[in-house]
Structure 1
Amino acid sequence: MTRSKKLINAPEDVISQMIAGMVAAHPDMLCLEGETGRAVVAVDGPREGKVGVVIGGGSGHEPAFAGYVGRGLADAAAVGNVFASPSPDHIADAGRAADGGAGVVLLYGNYTGDVMNFTMAAEVLEAEGTPVRQVAVIDDVASAPPDRRGERRGIAGDFFVFRIAGAAADLGEPLARVEALAQKANANTLSMGVALSPCSLPQTGRPNFEIGEDEMEIGMGLHGEPGVRRDKLARADAVADELMGAILAELAPEPGARVAVLVNGLGATGQLELYILFNRVKQILDARGVVIHRSWVGEYATSLEMAGASVTLMKLDEELAALLDHPCRTPALVVGAVDPAPRAARRPRRVAATEAAPLAQGPLIETGRVTPQIFRALLAGAGAQIIAARDWLSELDGVIGDGDHGVTMEIGWKAVQTALDAAPEGETITGTCQRVAKAFLDAVGASSGPLYASAFQRAGAAVDDRLNLDAGALAAWLAGALDGILSRGGAQPGDKTMIDAWVPAVEAARAAQGIETDVLRAARDGAEAGMRATAELESRRGRSAKLGARSVGHIDPGAASTFILLRAMSAALDRALLESALQPRCVAPPST
């Protein structure tokens, strides 16, 4: 398979170097705040008494999201890894920077990972005393029918929803009003896209899906997720007709109505092609007697170097039109002339230090052969195997998702390896689980971050009365991990997610008779059976849920990584116990 060419230094440095370059290129508009290095803040945006507007999402969509930070639009953006949500810490840093004492509105696309991470960040900010409202953008008509509108993903419609919320906040509207206006824009904004070629992640350099030279994907998602169908490449006018047909059938503007139009390139489609599409869009609207109030043609929400385009319409009334016309100045969008007033001083944020929940008191149960040292070896072995399977996991994800699962898992488990290396010798298994949970969540974000963090937190709590794990405690640890994933993600068996591997793994572990190795072998075999069974399931959760029957026949990547995790832990335990048995023992000399 041909690898793509990219002007990067090292894949692990692309986000930090991109942020540094963006801030350096626009020092009059952008700065960096917070300890995470992922909160890009408007130099003259946040101010005392103003509602803070925080946007964010994965990288790879530039100029979204940080490109829309500036006066009159967003006050801060939380920047995630490529195609992955920022973590709660990233978002909380952005929220603190944007807070002027009037509350903060969080705006993001409606993806599982973004919803989980932004919600966790909102909980943190509210615990610190900041009122928070959230709006998940749902503009993509291809991703769910009108009666399930709340399930739709956000694509280029972010552009209009962010714009309206930013203008409302800049005008001094209160928190509830900014949220209501963002929701109003959300309800009146629809998009649909088409892809002509795949993109490739910097870490893999390989196309994240395959498509024929004479084919196009109708309804493609912003991360490369497959659309509603694949068809033969058509002329630009026919493509525009199809995209507009789906949008107008639902938006239903009356003759004389006003709309705003965005014709957006996905990263590798030139202005020549985009203007041809816009020409047809205008012809269609003119024929209906619909007036274009404002239009934008160019790259505003991309998908790395994917070829293709999307069309977005926002139906306007007087209120939305006035907000759309309000001046703003950001690296990616300038409207009118903003007030050149310097940045106002803001009150310092005082964040109360939080203490970890105390571990169980009293003597810990020492029965069992899985000591804290062996437990850490199990996790280290699991991380090594998942990292080695990165490309396979990403290939599985590229068929039914956005192709980043292997990369995300690699980032998370490398952070876990670093955390394990820093663990003190006497740390308990529960303490190690808390350490691993924080490392994974901080490094990854996405949906995997909250899910694995919750898994390790709950699993550690399930054995907090133990020093070592025996067979029963090991099964309890696995059950705790499953409980954490269920409580955080909400997926159920049959949804075609990691749950479909975890449930049979835990059931098998609980039923296992014997010693610790028997429990992990049973869990491994249960996970493998569950993973293979996902190929026959139709996805009902996450990004692949939009595919319907097209998801059948493919293994779920989350279930695959679950199997690798448990297989590696089982093998590592076998090795650790064998090595322990082979260690020479000190024998007391016979008495004389």
Structure 2
Amino acid sequence: MTDDIRTKKLMNAPEDIIPEAIEGMLSAHPDLLTVEGATRRAIVAKDGPRDGKVGIIIGGGSGHEPAFAGYVGRGLADAAAVGNVFASPSPEHIMDAARAVEGGAGVMFLYGNYTGDVMNFDMAAEECEGMGIPARSVQVTDDVASAPKGREKERRGIAGDFFVFKIAGAAAEAGRDLEACYAAAQHANDNCRSMGVALSACSLPQTGKLNFDLGPREMEIGMGIHGEPGMRRGHLESADAVSDELMQAILTDMELGKGDEVAVLVNGLGATGPLELYILHRRIAQILGERDVKIHHSWVGEYCTSLEMAGASVTLLKLDDDLKTLLDMPCRTPALTVAGSLEPVGKRTRRTHAAASSTSGIERSDLAIDGPVTPVRFRQMMLAIADAIHANRDWLSELDGVIGDGDHGVTMDIGWTAVRKELKDPTDETVSETCARMAKAFLDAVGASSGPLYATAFRKAGEAVSDRLNLDAGAMVAWIEGICAGIQSRGGAQVGDKTMIDAWVPAVAKARETLQSGGDVIACLDAACAGAKNGRDYTAEIESRRGRSAKLGERSVGHMDPGAASAHVMLVAMTEALRE
């Protein structure tokens, strides 16, 4: 049956793909790279970090190799935080990188403008500031297909990372302070534009299924590097016609005139070889030549991929004297070497930074004990969620593949697997203490957008019932409200945005309505399930207004939001577990 057909990948166990890839990268480049930190997800330059130098930390999801760890090395990034496939690294991954490279001059985080990356890097920046480490962040926003002119801050980052990272690394190598490094990187981002085309889909290692359908004679113009749909889908055209369309979009957005100078990147998305990429560059050079725009330097090859996706992107960086100087400065990394002499590395002092710790003792004799949901039953309900998410993993990822990057089910499964491992041994703890452990386990394992959202949700939910040992109907409703409030406080989504909030808000409303009518715990949970289902189904009727799918507009109508679907799965699982 076609449902059983899986894509082919050279891998061992899917859950080991990231640590094994990191191990292989380190064994291939022992002179350049090492790994530091407890998470083993911070790849650090052996000869980059040093006292008095701004620490440059880049990062993002795996699957884009050589981005991001391939740009770690002298003169470029000091470290990369490595996330799961198509998922942001977690704050702890990022902090391992920051602690490894901080040299007393502050750190700068650089990453693509995606919801998960923004939330996770923001949390890491907040932690840095709390430890006395100055931190700045630059979100790369080069993709002209993802938002119109005038709304550049909404654009996603694609292959333009290559140029922005290079400029930032050179500025730090030159000894510029944190604010000057930030200004140089932001200036590069402001003058960088990209546009891509996809000729085929890619598949996640965990699912082995193509993220979306693209016909044998079709192409997607404006495709994102996670498989997000682009501006339009159409009939496959010639290399020159594709180049013309990509360049028209870039040049309409970027002011280039006679005598201007640019750097050019023609980037393969994973399954498009140099032969085709050079044909694209041929036409790009012709177009720029017709405008009397000079190419200072070109790079042609795979620099920011999307697993095995076929297709390419074009990036232009408009140069001035400072950007040209920084672009030409030498660097030595696995994926990029710019020739030139590099001064010997100076002294490096290993610093220790104590994170703020908080301990709170709970006086169990003060806690309310009425209610059927004991801490043991609550733990069983959470384990039931982990089982249900695992069982529905592929379905949730398929929903996400239609309007997003296809990893929602995989990401949620990783998070809940970590929760299952954390809760496998019985402990004498309260519901709120269990929630705190769940939050840390989920966040450390996942990253992505789900990590910060559900970590905050679990903390808020636990706080909402911190005065109780057992949960009654009112406390159970308060716990669900805490989940919803935590997600909204971290992510900012509202009803109608086509997100998980469209399921959680009606779940809360129905549960509270049933509680006010005298319903017991099971009745309130049943009502929450019904509300979540209504909200889940409603998302198929509306356009997306947040996240990667927001770029689709009307094309997102008719497709259920995967986050709303997983919210319903969670509520049903915990309800059935309690009923049993």
Q: What amino acid is aligned across from residue 432 of structure 2 in structure 1? A: T
Match of 1:308 in 2: 311
**Matches of 1:243 and 1:444 in 2, distance apart?**
34
Deviation at 1:345, TM superposition (A): 2.6
**Superposed, which structure 2 residues align to 1:467-478 within 5 Å?**
467-478=469-480
SS of aligned partner of 1:419: helix
Confirm or deny: 8 A CA contact 1:44 1:343 kept in the other structure.
Answer: no
Is the 1:42–1:69 contact (alpha carbons within 8 Å) kept by the matching residues of 2? Answer: yes
Q: Is 1:428 aligned to residue 433 of structure 2?
A: no
Of residues 280, 283, 286 in structure 2, which corresponds to 1:283? 286
User: What are the Cα deviations for residues 546-570 of structure 1, in whole angstroms up to 9, with x where unaligned?
Assistant: 1111111100000000000001111
Cα separation, 1, equivalents of 2:264 and 2:362: 56
CA contact (8 A) 1:44 1:344 kept: no
Equivalents in 1 of 2:360, 2:534: separation in Å? 37
Pick aligned residue for 1:183 from 181, 186, 189: 186
Partner SS, residue 47 of structure 1: coil
The answer to which of 331-340 and 220-229 deviates more is 331-340
Partner Cα distance (1:69, 1:338) in 2? 18
8 Å contact kept, 1:394–1:403 = yes
Q: 1:274 aligns with which of 277, 296, 299?
A: 277
1:469 maps to amino acid: L
What does 1:104-253 correspond to in 2, within 5 Å? 104-253=107-256
Contact kept? 1:215, 1:231, Cα under 8 Å: yes
Q: Matches of residues 69-84 of structure 1 in structure 2 within 5 Å? A: 69-84=72-87
Matched-pair contact (CA < 8 Å) for 1:43–1:343: no
Distance 1:361 1:133, change over 3 A: farther
| Matched letter for residue 388 of structure 1 | A
Distance, in Å, in 2 between the alignment partners of 1:432 and 1:472 is: 19
Q: 2:43 and 2:348 mapped to 1: Cα distance?
A: 18
Alignment partner of 1:451 is 2:453: yes
Query: 1:235-285 deviations in whole A, cap 9, x for unaligned?
Result: 000000000000001112111100000000000001000000000000000
Note the alpha carbon deviations across 1:68-100, whole angstroms, 9 max, x for none. Answer: 000000000000000000000000111111201
Structure 1's unaligned 5+ residue stretches are 576-592
Q: TM-score, length-normalised on structure 2?
A: 0.98
> 2:339 aligned with 1:336, yes or no?
yes
1:471-504 CA-partner distances (Å, limit 9, x unpaired): 0110011001111000000001000000000000
Aligned mates of 1:139, 1:170 — CA distance in 2:
24
Quick one: structure 1 residues 338 and 536, their matched pair in 2 at CA, closer, same or farther if it must change by over 3 Å? farther
Shift of 1:347: 3.1
Tell me the distance in 1 between the aligned counterparts of 2:579 and 2:443.
29
The CA deviation at 1:346 is 2.1
Q: Is the 8 A contact 1:48 1:347 kept in 2?
A: no
- 2:530 alignment partner in structure 1: 525
Structure 2 counterpart of 1:466: 468
Task: Tell me the residue number matched to 2:443.
Answer: 441
Which amino acid is 2:376 matched to? Q
Seen in structure 2, the aligned counterparts of structure 1 residues 357 and 219 have a Cα distance that, compared at 3 Å, is farther
Query: Which residue identity does 2:104 align to in structure 1?
Result: G
Question: Is 1:317 aligned with 2:320?
Answer: yes
Q: Indicate the SS of the match to 2:366.
A: coil
- Could you tell me how far apart the structure 1 residues matched to 2:142 and 2:355 are? 38
| Aligned pairs for 1:3-42 within 5 A | 3-42=6-45
- Alpha-carbon separation, structure 2, partners of 1:357 and 1:282: 64
Q: Is the 8 A contact 2:58 2:165 kept in 1?
A: yes
Maintained 8 Å contact 2:49/2:348: no
TM-score, normalised by the number of residues in structure 1? 0.96
- Identify if the C-alpha distance between structure 1 residues 125 and 367 changes in structure 2 by more than 3 Å, giving closer, same or farther: same
1:176 CA drift (Å): 0.4
Q: Give CA deviations for 1:301-326 in whole Å, capped at 9, x if unaligned.
A: 00000000000000000000000000
Whole-Å separation in 2 of the counterparts to 1:494 and 1:549: 14
Q: 3-state DSSP class of the match of 1:147?
A: coil
* 1:562 alignment counterpart: 567
Contact persistence 1:441–1:449 (CA under 8 A): yes
Instruction: Report the CA distance between 1:146 and its aligned residue.
Output: 1.0
| SS of equivalent residue, structure 1 residue 162 | helix
1:330 to 1:357, Cα distance in 2 relative to 1, 3 A: farther
Tell me the equivalent position of 1:589.
none
Find the residue that maps to 1:402 and give its secondary structure.
Answer: coil
Moved more, 66-75 or 362-371: 362-371
Indicate yes or no: 2:392 matched with 1:386: no
Q: Which runs of 5+ in 2 are unaligned?
A: none
Displacement of 1:356 in angstroms is: 4.1
For residues 328-366 of structure 1, the C-alpha deviation after alignment (integer angstroms, 9 at most, x for no partner) is 000000001242625633232232462345547761000
Q: Distance in 2 between matches of 1:267 and 1:85?
A: 20
- AA aligned to 1:77 is A
The residue that corresponds to 1:355 in the other structure is 358
Structure 1 equivalent of residue 484 of structure 2: 482
Match of 1:103 among 85, 94, 106: 106
Native 8 Å contact 2:131 2:356 kept in 1: no
- CA distance in structure 2 between the aligned counterparts of 1:569 and 1:405, rounded to whole angstroms: 20
Separation in structure 1 between the aligned mates of residue 490 and residue 341 of structure 2, nearest angstrom: 42
Map Cα deviations across residues 406-445 of structure 1 (whole Å, 9 max, x no partner). 1001101100100111451x11000000010111000000
Kindly indicate whether the alpha-carbon contact (under 8 Å) linking 1:73 and 1:329 is maintained by their aligned counterparts in 2: yes
**Amino acid across the alignment from 1:228:** M
Aligned residue pair count: 574
1:419 and 2:413 correspond:
no
